[in-house]
Each structure stands twice: as structure tokens, then as C-alpha cells.
């Protein structure tokens, strides 16, 4: 028995080390945020919320995005296609979360809100993501944004004024406050039925699979 004693000690130490390592890993692993029922109900009551798809769809994909964020741009097209493919079961909600590290992100958010005041939020949303590689590197983005407004058939003079309005800036600010309450820190941050999608699943195939699973699941009463 004594000759096996050192091996028993080694095995015990190894098990303790493994258990400790697992606990530390779980402690360090970022906790995925969720949207509480209380916050979700307040969000649903907001008239100015940006929704694409059937408003009462039983599956909600909710994104906090930045128009100058390359990963957000890469997902914009696939998310639009997913919403189209799963209608009428899916609705998409977009919230602004312009990062301070992106020079033009806040003005891009203002541009979409200025377009929204003329009923064209999603058109500007899609256009800015499609043209992200152009305007994000431009020295004079206002001229480009005015041109985009003209392309969408907006009243450009009104668009220019609305870009500078407190109403537009406050709308973006409200989204940022909402993000802060949820603990959102990065873009894109995406929730499906109030549960955050893991960063490793933020690609078109895994996102589609998550939506598919939610659509097939029995709607909660």
C-alpha cells in the first residue's frame, strides 16, 4: 500500500488542479447578458423602436449595432435574408450602439434616424452597411450621407437639418442607455428571444441555426 501512496497523492493533486482550473475558467468566461421580462416589455411598448418583420412574431432577433463595425456590416445582409426567409415568424429589432473607437459611427447613426423621420430608416440602414467600406474612410462623410439621402429620394435639406437635431441625437442616446442597462459592451451584440447569442455563434450559419431552433420551438404563452 505504501508504494502506491505517492501515486495516490499525485492523482489527488491532479484532480484538485483540474477542478480548480475548471472553476477559474468558468469564473473568467464572460457571462452572456439577457433581457429581463420587465425591460423587454418596456422595449416592446416603445413606438420609436426599429422593427423589420411582423411586429408580433414569436421570435425576436434583437441587435445592438455600430454602422462602422465591420462584423456588423458582414452580418447585415445575412440577417436581412434570415428575416425574409423566416417571415412571418421572425422580427428583427435594431438598436444603436456606436463605439467611441469608430470615428464616424455616431454620425452614421444620426443619418439613419434623420432618414427615419422621413420613413426610410431601414433603407438607410441597409445602404450604410453596404457602403461601409466607402464612407468609413471618407474625409467628408456629410457630403456622402447627403448623397445617400438623395439616392433614397429623401428631402435632402430636411435630412441635413434633422442630422443636427436634438431629437435625432436623443434617439441614439436612448439606445445607448438601453444597452448600458443590459451590460452590452461590444458590437454586434445579438439577442434571440431575450437570450444573448454567444460571440462564437455570430456568423451567418450559426445565427440561422439559432433562429431556426427558436422558430421551431413552441412559443411561450
State pLDDT tens for residues 43-90. 554 466 999 999 999 999 999 999 999 999 999 999 999 999 999 999
| CA 200 – CA 92 distance, rounded (Å) | 20
pLDDT: which is higher, 6 or 119 = 119
Burial of residue 34 (number of CB atoms within 10 Å: 0-12, 13-18, 19+): middle
Three cell numbers written together for 65 = 449595432
| CA 138 – CA 136 distance, rounded (Å) | 6
State which H helix or E strand residue 96 sits in.
strand 90-96
Bond into 88 cis (ω within 30): yes
Three cell numbers written together for 148 = 445617400
Q: How confident is the model at residue 26 (pLDDT cuts 50, 70, 90)?
A: very low
Burial of residue 162 (number of CB atoms within 10 Å: 0-12, 13-18, 19+): buried
pLDDT: which is higher, 152 or 41 = 152
Mean pLDDT for the stretch of residues 10-26 = 47
| CA 88 – CA 168 distance, rounded (Å) | 30
Bond into 41 cis (ω within 30): no
Amino acid at each position: 500500500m505504501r508504494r502506491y501512496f505517492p501515486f495516490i497523492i499525485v492523482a489527488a493533486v491532479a484532480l484538485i488542479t483540474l477542478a480548480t482550473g475548471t472553476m477559474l475558467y468558468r469564473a473568467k468566461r464572460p457571462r452572456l447578458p439577457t433581457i429581463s421580462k420587465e425591460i423587454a416589455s418596456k422595449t416592446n411598448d416603445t413606438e420609436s423602436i426599429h422593427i423589420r418583420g411582423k411586429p408580433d412574431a414569436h421570435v425576436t432577433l434583437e441587435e445592438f449595432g455600430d454602422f462602422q463595425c465591420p462584423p456588423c456590416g458582414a452580418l447585415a445582409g445575412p440577417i436581412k435574408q434570415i428575416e425574409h426567409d423566416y417571415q412571418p415568424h421572425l422580427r428583427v429589432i435594431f438598436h444603436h450602439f456606436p463605439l467611441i473607437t469608430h470615428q464616424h459611427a455616431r454620425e452614421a447613426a444620426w443619418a439613419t434616424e434623420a432618414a427615419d423621420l422621413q420613413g426610410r430608416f431601414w433603407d438607410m440602414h441597409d445602404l450604410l452597411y453596404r457602403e461601409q467600406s466607402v464612407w468609413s474612410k471618407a474625409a467628408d462623410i456629410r457630403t456622402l450621407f447627403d448623397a445617400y439621402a438623395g439616392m433614397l429620394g429623401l428631402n435632402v435639406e430636411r435630412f441635413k437639418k434633422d442630422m443636427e437635431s436634438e431629437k435625432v441625437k436623443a434617439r441614439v442616446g436612448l439606445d445607448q442607455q438601453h444597452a448600458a442597462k443590459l451590460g452590452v459592451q461590444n458590437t454586434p451584440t445579438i439577442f434571440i428571444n431575450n437570450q444573448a447569442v454567444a460571440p462564437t455563434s455570430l456568423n451567418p450559419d450559426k445565427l440561422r441555426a439559432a433562429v431556426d431552433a427558436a422558430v421551431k420551438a413552441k412559443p411561450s404563452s
